[in-house]
Amino acid sequence: MINPKTTATPAGERELLIEREFAAPRELVFKAWTERDRLMQWWGPPTWPIDYCTVDLRVGGAWHYRMRGPAGEEGWGKGVYREIMPSSRLVYSDYFSDEDGTEIPPEAIAEIDFVDRGGTTLVRNKTIFASGEHRQQVLGMGVVEGMSETMDRLDEHLAAVVAG
């Protein structure tokens, strides 16, 4: 189910924009997206959380993770950082991968902007797919629902950190 706090908008033939506002400062939200220990607490829908994650936060570095499903299934992903603007923007090549980090084409480009709204932060997550067919394939896999649930988990994580 998609939380109404999360909006998902297909933009053009190859793009998908997912947005959500969080009641946390931009620096904290950025850290949640870029620090391994924080990612381990919220990335993935509740039924497919990550149980393995590495982060090499530098242009050309990567984050590599494994999501584990309810019956023990594995889904590997990898992002190779293209642009890092601390607290404001991340751009990475997004792939499915294997456990060794070998990228499985096609590539998608994730552009994540962290917009300071005076105490809250708007996250704009635009994904540019290799083709319209690739976008449709990923939409068919439930990416919108999964990202909405993932954003719910991020919201819970940030609320707990802010509450101290």
Dist CA 93 CA 79 (whole Å): 5
Average pLDDT of the segment spanning 142-153: 94
- pLDDT confidence of residue 84: 98
- pTM of the entire predicted model: 0.94
- pLDDT confidence of residue 49: 96
2-31: burial string, b at 16+ Cβ within 10 Å, e else: eeeebebeeeeebbbebbbbbebbbebbbb
- pLDDT bracket for residue 104 (50, 70, 90): very high
What mean pLDDT value characterizes the chain? 95
Q: Is 7-163 CATH 3.30.530.20?
A: yes
- pLDDT confidence of residue 11: 76
Q: Which of 9-13, 90-94, 107-111, 143-147 has the lowest mean pLDDT?
A: 9-13
Contacts of 14 (CB under 8 A, 6+ apart): 128, 129, 130, 131, 132, 134, 135
Q: What is the pLDDT of residues 18-67, one digit of tens each?
A: 999 999 999 999 999 999 999 999 999 999 999 999 999 999 999 999 99
Q: Which two tokens stand for residue 124?
A: 């704009």
- DSSP symbol at 130: S
Query: Position of tokens 């590539």?
Result: 107
**Above pLDDT 90, what percent of the chain?**
91
